[in-house]
């Protein structure tokens, strides 16, 4: 008996090779099996390039005929940046297609198209794993807003800095390396202006391979200094979200330097985060990791834009210091925010806790 799950696991491993390079497209892996042997493999490498199924078909060549094609996401059935995959699957003589999950894009009906063309089609094999791989794509495709993660690093007693503000470094080098790897996977990282002024971060992937994310700075009065690291490094990949309080002359000068300045609405005296997410989604930013301080973390959670949390806990005690979260307006324990699908693992000497809101 053919183990569809085994082959789908291999397809998922192929899909993961596209981390950080396919957005706004999803990560997709595919392979072709014939008489118990893998004759073709492929994954989507970059937006605008060949889809995973086409790469697998090209590698298999004539061996694809009468084979089984495994793919982590429903094949496309329309003309977009590339021709429809369903047509090429049919032409190659594939007899059966096994699909991980349905594509949330409403214009795609690859499952129905392949069935209509007479192929045997199964869908929903390792569906949860396939969905987890493409969380940002699913959220962006359904809402046109980015998938948002709050990342924080804290001591065992919940502090992100000492009472003097010292925070370097709470977590281990292994944890910091993982954060840089995550930056390479997300479309953007976001911090508030206080973090820029206090820490002058670079927000790059110095400790890992991959491309630097877009940097998003929340700066309602446009206080950012022109010599800030985020401006000096790749200003064309910097977005500053500000408001009408920003001096027009400074906006103009930043734009002349290549910086993208977004003037957005205010809500309760602060940048309207929900409105900002809509603007960023229009710019095909599908995923954001917030690396801010207590205030930004709390505001993001209160506004409802956060989908997931990543909290690194270091085996250290600090005592009085800065908390990881500001005021969430919660007065009773039974009103506290419940974290779902909780998971944890050890990273160096630290523990990484992952969960969903």
Residue-by-residue DSSP string for 141-206: HHHSS-EEEEEEEEETTSEEEETT---TTSS-HHHHHHHHHHHHHSSEEEEEHHHHHHH----S-T
CB-based contacts of 126, cutoff 8 Å, min separation 6: 5, 8, 9, 12, 100
3-state helix, strand, coil in the chain (%, to 5): 35, 25, 40
3-state secondary structure 264-303: CCEECCEECHHHHHHHHHHCCCCEEEECCCHHHHHHHHHH
Active site residues: 53
180 in Cβ contact with 339 (< 8 Å): no
| Three-state DSSP state, 313 | strand
Distances 224 to 112, 217, 246, 250, 266 between C-alpha atoms, Å = 52, 9, 11, 10, 18
């Amino acid at each position: 008996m053919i183990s569809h799950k085994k082959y789908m696991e291999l397809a998922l491993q192929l899909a993961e090779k596209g981390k950080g390079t396919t957005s706004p497209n999803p990560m997709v892996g595919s392979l072709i099996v014939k008489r118990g042997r893998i004759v073709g493999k492929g994954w989507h490498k970059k937006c605008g390039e060949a889809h995973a199924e086409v790469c697998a078909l090209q590698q298999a060549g004539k061996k694809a005929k009468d084979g089984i094609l495994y793919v982590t996401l429903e094949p496309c059935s329309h003309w977009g940046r590339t021709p429809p995959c369903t047509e090429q699957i049919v032409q190659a003589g594939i007899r059966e297609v096994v699909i991980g999950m349905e594509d949330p894009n409403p214009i795609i009906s690859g499952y129905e198209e392949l069935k209509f063309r007479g192929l045997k089609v199964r869908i929903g094999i390792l569906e949860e794993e396939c969905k987890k791989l493409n969380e940002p794509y699913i959220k962006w495709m359904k809402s046109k807003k980015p998938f948002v993660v709050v990342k924080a690093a804290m001591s065992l007693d919940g502090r992100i800095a000492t009472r003097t503000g010292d925070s370097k470094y709470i977590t281990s080098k292994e944890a910091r390396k993982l954060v840089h790897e995550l930056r390479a996977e997300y479309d953007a990282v976001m911090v508030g202006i206080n973090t820029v002024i206090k820490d002058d971060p670079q927000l790059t992937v110095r400790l890992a391979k991959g491309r630097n994310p877009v940097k998003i700075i929340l700066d309602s009065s446009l206080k950012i200094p022109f010599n800030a690291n985020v401006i000096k490094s790749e200003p064309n990949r910097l977005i500053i979200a500000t408001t009408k309080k920003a001096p027009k002359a400074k906006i103009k000068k930043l734009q002349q330097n290549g910086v993208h300045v977004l003037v957005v609405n205010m809500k309760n005296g602060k940048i309207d985060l929900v409105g900002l997410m809509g603007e960023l989604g229009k710019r095909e930013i599908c995923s954001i990791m917030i690396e801010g301080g207590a205030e930004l973390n709390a505001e993001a959670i209160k506004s409802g834009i956060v989908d997931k949390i990543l909290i690194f806990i270091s085996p250290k005690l600090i005592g009085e210091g800065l908390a990881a979260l500001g005021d969430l307006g919660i007065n009773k324990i039974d009103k506290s925010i419940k974290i779902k699908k909780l998971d944890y693992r050890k990273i160096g000497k630290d523990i990484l806790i992952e969960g969903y809101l």
